Structures are given as structure tokens and as C-alpha cells.
Amino acid sequence: MKRFFRLLFMPCEGYMELLSALMDGHVSPTDRFAVRLHTLYCRACGRYRKQILKLRRMLRAIDESGWTAAGEAVLTAEARDRILQNLHAAESEPNV
Amino acid sequence: MRFVVGSEIGRASSCRILAPTARERSSVGTTSGREPVAVAASRPAYDERYDDDGNDEASAAAGSERAGDLMHVARDTIDAATGSTTAPAHHGLPGPDPARWLAKHGDALFRFALLRLRDRGHAEEAVQDCLLAALRNVQTFADRSAERTWLIGILKHKIVDHLRRASRKRGREEAAVAGPAPFDERGFWRSRPERWIEDPSAALQREEFGPVLMRCLSKLPDGIASALVLRELHRMSSDEVCAILEVSPQTLWQRLHRARLGLRRCLERNWFGSSRRREGTGG
């Protein structure tokens, strides 16, 4: 109870740290409740919470489509030659 | 080019971390702690219980079923984009052809690595390591999986290896995220989050958004970005990320918090915010 009352008087920064920890495995019903309560009456923190949950969803959606997010980057001709040389060298090794 | 909506893949959290004591919580937000906190408890991660709409997201069983479906979609998408098929590779063929792998998949593998390692040299190295490992383990390639999916699976391991080595080399030094702190000295918002004009998932469909996201990720310090890449892009559990980066849960939470603050602010200033400045990524 004492902890809960202390949580109620925490500044926004503390709540947002707790929110992030709750997203990453920190398990505490009291903390979860305190963060939810705070984000209900603090508009800035409520907006921040929604935005980072959306960002998480976006980052997780990238998955195997990384090429698009990395633009049109391609291997340079030098890098391609170097990699090819090393692959041929590995191929000619007896234990491969 | 189409995006696979991987966010729909529900995953049960494998985190086994109990609530810290009051003293430990006071250290959440510091980088000091290596307090022991690992005890069994099985609960879904925060966002999985309470998403924006207040929905309770799918159970682990339903999630894995959907994940299976989405993997097929992912393969189809990759095949459609590359013109490849899910046909067998080495079965019935004379042998592995790394030169063909490089020609056909080299750029895609490079871009995959570049987004996660944020350095051209490191990404090239990861591609090379991936193809060498593929050459040595060509017998693990089953004809049920597409060639690129197989190579990307190997590349993911090489990226994790790279991030692990880099973390050991870097030690415990903590770099600050560039730009003014979002909170004042009393812990209240210095500049409040703006209303966003577009949903991030919708922005992923836009080609111009890719370079902006890339530059915002590049601005994060290495240790912080590694934690974000492993936790969000590779969708690993916190326990797994802690083991790879050799940090305590409190340190990981702190790094991820700073990563989210930094990435959110940069993307707001350069894309999502109503007063965005698209011409640069000065955030």
C-alpha cells in the first residue's frame, strides 16, 4: 500500500520507465495498475504509451522485409568480388 | 513491394522476471544494477495484454497457428518479389552454388543486415559469414523451405553473433542518446508528445519512410540499438537478449526505454509529428 502511494506521486519520467519495463518482462500488478491509472489522467503519458506500442508493432512487422526499410542499398562491386573470392576459397578447402 | 504484417504474430512471453523490490525499482532507470531478479513467473508481456485498443491479444496457441500462416505469406511474398520458387535447391542438382546465392540474394541479405547492424562494413561481413555458413551446412537445407528464407535464418544467427561480440568489446559503457532530454530535471515532460498524423504501420508501406527509419535507428548509440534490434526486430524474449548482451534485466529495461524515447522523438520530428521536418533527421 505504501509503495502504491509512493507510485502515485512519481513524476511522468518514472511512469514511462515503468511502462517500458512492463513491455519487457517486468511483472508487477501494482506497477501495471499505477501506470494504467496515470496514463488515463495524464494526456501526454497516455499519448506516449499509445505511440510506443504502435512503434513496437511497426518494428515487429518489418521482420523479413528489411530490404524495404533499408532503402535501395546494394552490395558494392568490391564487396561482391571479395565475398565471392572467400566463398571460392572456402569451397576449395578439403573439409567443406 | 509488400510488407508482411509480422505484428500479428502472437507470442507468449517467455520472460521469467519478478517484480523488483522497492530498492530495485528505484534502480530501474539507472544503469547501475546487476541485482538478481530472475524467478519463475509466466505472464504475457505488457503490450500483449493491453494493446492500444484495450484488446487482449491472441493466446499463444492461436498466435503460433497464425504465425504459421504468416510464414507462408512471408515466403510467398519473398518469392513473388524475387521470382524464386519454393522449389528444392540442391536435391537433384550437382551441388551448392554460392556464386548464384550471392547474385540472387546478396543485395536482399545485405539490406536485411544493414537495417540491423547499421554499418555497411559489418553488414557485408555478416553476408559473407552467412554464405560461408550456408556452404558448410548445405545439407540442412530442406526443400520445403525457400532458399532465401533459409539464408535469412542463417543471417539472423550471424547478426546475433555480431551483436554479441560487439557488446563484449564495448563493455558496460553507456552512450547517451543525442538531443535534448525529453524530461526536465523534475521528471516532467519538457516537450509533450505530439499528435501523430499517420499510423506507423501504414508508414511502412511508403517507400520514402524506409530511409527515415534507417537514419533514426542509426542515430541510436550501439548498445541501445542492439537491445532494440534483438528485442523488437528479432522478437527475442528479454531473457534471451540479456544473455546475448550479458546485461541484467534492469540494464536491458533502461536501454530499451532510452531506445524507445530516442526513436520515437526522431520519427516524430521527421515523419509522424504535425510539425515534422522531412528535409533532414535532426532529431
pLDDT tier at A1, thresholds 50, 70, 90: low
Give the Cα separation of A10 and A42 in Å (integer). 12
Do B155 and B127 contact (CB within 8 A), yes or no?
yes
Q: What is the pLDDT along chain B (283 residues), one digit of tens a residue?
A: 334 333 333 333 333 333 344 444 444 444 333 333 333 334 445 554 444 433 333 333 344 444 444 344 344 444 444 444 333 344 444 467 888 899 999 998 998 899 899 999 999 999 999 999 998 887 777 665 688 888 999 999 999 999 999 998 876 666 666 677 888 889 999 989 999 999 998 888 888 888 898 889 999 999 999 999 999 999 999 999 999 999 999 999 999 999 999 999 999 999 998 766 554 444 4
Instruction: Quote the pLDDT of residue B83.
Output: 40
Mean pLDDT score of chain A:
86
ipTM attached to this prediction: 0.87
B66 touches chain A (CB under 8 A): no
Instruction: Quote the pLDDT of residue A53.
Output: 96
Nearest to B115 among A25, A66, A91 (CB): A66
Instruction: Quote the pLDDT of residue B140.
Output: 73
Contact B15 A20 (CB under 8 A): no
Contact A56 B232 (CB under 8 A): yes
- For A24, the grid coordinates are 519487457
The pTM of this model reads 0.71
Angle between helices B238-245 and B147-170 (to 10 degrees): 60
Contact B106 A80 (CB under 8 A): yes
Instruction: Quote the pLDDT of residue B256.
Output: 96
Ordered domains of chain B (ranges, CATH): 88-170 (1.10.1740.10)
Contact A70 B186 (CB under 8 A): no
Contact B6 A73 (CB under 8 A): no
Which residue type occupies A65? S
Do B63 and B6 contact (CB within 8 A), yes or no?
no
Give the Cα separation of A63 and B2 in Å (integer). 12
Q: Which of A2, A65, A78 to mutate to test the interface with B (most CBs of B within 10 A)?
A: A65
Q: What do you get for the CA distance between the two ends of chain B, in Å?
A: 28
Cα distances (Å, whole numbers) of residue B26 to A14, A39, B23, B250 = 9, 20, 5, 10
CB B40: neighbour CB atoms within 10 A? 7
**Which residues 6+ apart lie within 8 Å of A69 measured at CB?**
A62, B115, B204, B209, B210, B213, B214
Q: Which residues of A31-66 are buried (b: 16+ CB within 10 A; e: fewer)?
A: bbebbbebbeebebbebbbbbbbbbbbbbbbbbbbb
What is the H or E stretch that residue B148 is in? Answer: helix B147-170
pLDDT at A91 > cutoff 70: yes
- For A26, the grid coordinates are 517486468
pLDDT digits (tens, 9 = 90+) for A4-22: 777 777 899 999 999 999 9
Give the Cα separation of B33 and B250 in Å (integer). 6
Q: Helix, strand, coil: what percent of chain A each, to 5?
A: 80, 0, 20
Contact B112 A66 (CB under 8 A): yes
Nearest to B111 among A16, A17, A67 (CB): A67
Give the distance from residue B79's alpha carbon to the nearest chain A alpha carbon, in angstroms: 12
B149 touches chain A (CB under 8 A): yes
Instruction: Quote the pLDDT of residue B234.
Output: 92
pLDDT digits (tens, 9 = 90+) for A15-74: 999 999 999 988 889 999 999 999 999 999 999 999 999 999 999 988 755 555 556 788
Place of cell 502515485: A8
Give the Cα separation of A23 and B238 in Å (integer). 10
- State whether residue B17 is helix, strand or coil: strand
Instruction: Quote the pLDDT of residue A95.
Output: 56
